[in-house]
Amino acid sequence: MIGVVIPAHNEASWLGRCLFAAALAARHVELMGESVCIVVVLDSCTDDSACVTQAFGATALTVQARNVGIARATGASHLIALGARWLAMTDADTCVAPDWIVAQLALRADVVCGAVEVDDWGAHPPCVRETWSTHYRSVDGHRHVHGANLGVCAKAYQRAGGFPPLACGEDVALVERLTANGARIAWSVAPRVTTSARTDFRIRGGFGDTLSSWSSGVACAPAGVTLNETLQGREHHE
């Protein structure tokens, strides 16, 4: 069985699109009928996220943590207890490609770190997209880590101790744990995910917050801007 984990905090306006895409990926013919369990971890939600989850037939888990590391770990633990052999991670404001799960598994690695594409830059000034295009490495061998596009073998995940309870950077921390445990990591653009450049971001220091900081002038300054600095540690360095 394959598990998909989606943390959500008041994501009703985005979650339906995310779950529709995840459901398509779960039914891909190349999975040969293997079951896929999609879990939405509702973290301190006060909107209709639970109703959206139910409407799409996904499993809903509830936590009151306001902590994405705890939310992802809760979903992962639930799926491993059900017998999941592979954990695919994404976010509520993303859309995975129809072959997303298949592409992760085809790499035959312990861990798959995928890249992301932004679906709409309209909320930001042109310099933000220009900086992204200049510095973001959407090629095989990149060193970007995104919780929105991450896959891991359940056994490797358990050996590494799982996601730490971090409010931001839990994805990078997990990959560092996996690296320390000798996991085989594929840095690939084959598993495709599009994500939002929203300004109503949920995590301080996360992807949306970083883009918004660029909008306010950080990225538009011509000197000294690197993706490693502006993504605040969301790259992995060995």
Structure-block tokens of residue 226: 């690197």
- Sequence spans of domains, the chain: 2-219
In the predicted model, residues of the chain with pLDDT beneath 70 are 122, 124, 197-238
CATH of 2-219, one of 3.40.710.10, 3.90.550.10, 3.40.50.300, 3.20.20.140: 3.90.550.10
pLDDT at 76: 98
Give the residue from 137, 127, 117 showing the smallest Cα distance to 197.
117
Which residues, 6 or more positions from 182, have their beta carbon under 8 angstroms from its beta carbon? none
Q: What integer pLDDT is reported at residue 8 of this predicted model?
A: 97
pLDDT of residue 215: 61
Which pLDDT does position 201 carry in this prediction? 58
Look-up of token digits 């798959």? 112
Q: Report the percentage of the chain scoring pLDDT > 70.
A: 82
For residues 89 and 197, what is the distance between their CA atoms, to the nearest angstrom?
A: 19
Cα gap 81→84, rounded to integer Å: 7
The pTM for the full model equals 0.87
pLDDT reported for residue 139: 95
